[in-house]
A and B are shown apart, each in its own frame.
Chain A
Amino acid sequence: DTGVSQDPRHKITKRGQNVTFRCDPISEHNRLYWYRQTLGQGPEFLTYFQNEAQLEKSRLLSDRFSAERPKGSFSTLEIQRTEQGDSAMYLCASTLGAGQPQHFGDGTRLSIL
């Protein structure tokens, strides 16, 4: 399978814990995006990488959130001191160009107890 892959698929943790998610984009795609989706809503943009450079961050990305894409390949999204409001599906997408469709991974479903 050469699509976007995300790990883990599900994460259940207690409030206050740190969590880290991983995304492996389609290999030739230099653009990588993170989105968050809550029940009944469409995905909302969190952050964008072009190669290894993080070029945009949404206001949704509080200082508890950090994302990296070392070497311009896989990316990680870390949430520190999780809160119940962080419960959501975290989606990663990649694409070749700005106007091109984005291809999504299966997502990581985060539940905060």
Chain B
Amino acid sequence: RKEVEQDPGPFNVPEGATVAFNCTYSNSASQSFFWYRQDCRKEPKLLMSVYSSGNEDGRFTAQLNRASQYISLLIRDSKLSDSATYLCVVNSPGSGNTGKLIFGQGTTLQVKP
């Protein structure tokens, strides 16, 4: 089983739609959670950190359920420019507190006009 699992999609949605991505992680000791965005052939860029209480940044809302080891990302009013791969990322709690990140496979979003 992968440490971080995501549905790779692709998710094809019209402009203006609301779309949700989900992710599960296997290590209950994980402490930090993030969503990164990656455009084709580019580097991953931080979209937002994910906090236990849930957090929102404009059209983006992230939720964390520690009991279920589940992370979600909701995008409202999708724009063409939201088309990208969204990576669910968990900070590995391994010994030595290295802070290495464990990435999901990524979920591809294509927003159509």
Contact = CB atoms under 8 A, between A and B. Distances in A.
Tell me if chain B binds chain A.
yes
Interface of A: 31, 33, 35, 40-45, 48, 50, 55-56, 91, 93, 95, 97-107, 109
Contacts of B31: 99
Given A42-B87, A98-B91, A99-B31, A105 B101 contact: no
Contacts of B44: 43, 91, 104
A8 to B, nearest CB: 14
Nearest to B42: A106
A105 to B, nearest CB: 6
Given A42-B87, A104-B43, A98 B97 contact: yes
- Chain B CB within 10 A, most for which of A97, A101, A103: A101
B59 to A, nearest CB: 20
Nearest to A33: B100
Given A43-B44, A99-B91, A107-B43, 8 more contacts: A31-B99, A40-B8, A41-B105, A42-B106, A43-B101, A45-B102, A91-B43, A98-B97
- What DSSP secondary structure best describes chain B's contact surface? loop
Given A98-B91, A101-B46, A106-B43, A42 B104 contact: yes
A35 B92 CA distance: 14
Interface residues of B, number: 28
20 contacts: A33-B100, A41-B106, A42-B87, A42-B105, A42-B106, A43-B44, A43-B87, A43-B101, A45-B100, A45-B102, A48-B100, A50-B98, A56-B96, A56-B100, A91-B43, A98-B97, A99-B99, A100-B32, A104-B45, A109-B41
The 8 lowest CB-CB distance pairs between A and B, nearest first, are A42-B103, A98-B99, A104-B43, A99-B32, A45-B100, A101-B46, A48-B98, A98-B97
A101 B34 contact: yes
B49 interface: yes
Interface in B7-49: 8, 31-32, 34, 41-46, 49
Nearest to A97: B99
Contacts of A98: 91, 97-99
B73 to A, nearest CB: 15
